[in-house]
Amino acid sequence: MAYTLPTLPYATNALEPTIDTMTMEIHHGRHHKAYVDNVNKALEGQPALAGKPIETLLREISQVPEAIRQAVINNGGGHANHSMFWEVMAGGVGGDPSGPLADDIKATFTDFATFKAQIKDAGVKRFGSGWAWLVLADGKLKILSSANQDSPYMNGQAPIMGVDVWEHAYYLKYQNKRPDYLDAWWSVVNWKAVADRYAKAKAGNL
């Protein structure tokens, strides 16, 4: 079955003023749609692969034939990464998390300010296009970045939250100021959704 573009869980203007409406329209309606269309195209004639959930396809990337593997990494990764991205944001949120996620962030990264600084650092230092991530790796929280649309799933890691640092994610409003975008981004992080992903990841269901 072909993958489909998920509907945004909020209106395209819901993340204003942090992420402007036009960026959301283009990012979801054109960029994410292109990843979906192109992974479907890459998997034409491969019903066994196309029937897998996108996360499974990426976890088992070594089983994808070499001729289409890079197309699946780029576009299947793009589909999974953006589906996560829309999910972990919302309007009228922000602040700091609470509960087990907050406790484990503090236990791992000292405090919440250090955690945020490390995510920002990962995003700022990613040269070119990519993502900064909080992942669950071998049962532990870890911050890292990936190039292009490379997915943590390909390395056996579960993406708890990630921030898109491709220029298309911020250029209309922030131009070359990626650090400013990364500072502002926290005000649209939906900690409830992130905590849900963390609980699922710990249960082995993400």
Using CB under 5 A, list all residues that contact Mn ion.
Answer: 164, 166, 169
CB nearer to Mn ion: pick between 112 and 171: 171
- Residue whose CB is nearest to Mn ion in the complex, by number: 164
DSSP SS3 for 166: coil
CB nearer to Mn ion: pick between 141 and 169: 169
CB nearer to Mn ion: pick between 89 and 169: 169
Give bridge partners of residue 147 from the DSSP assignment.
130
**b/e map of 20-38 (b: 16 or more CB within 10 Å)?**
beebbeebbeebbeebbeb
Tell the residue number behind the tokens 């981004």, with chain if given. Answer: 185
CB of 166 to Mn ion, least distance (A): 5
CB of 165 to Mn ion, least distance (A): 9
CB of 168 to Mn ion, least distance (A): 5
CB of 105 to Mn ion, least distance (A): 25
Q: For 37, what's the count of Cα atoms within 13 Å in the CB-facing half-sphere?
A: 7
Helical (H) or strand (E) element with 140 = strand 140-147
DSSP SS3 for 151: coil
CB nearer to Mn ion: pick between 15 and 101: 15
CB nearer to Mn ion: pick between 79 and 120: 79
**Amino acid at the residue 114:** T
**Amino acid at the residue 170:** Y
CB of 7 to Mn ion, least distance (A): 17
CA distance 100 to 14: 28
Q: Are strands 130-137 and 140-147 parallel, antiparallel or unpaired?
A: antiparallel
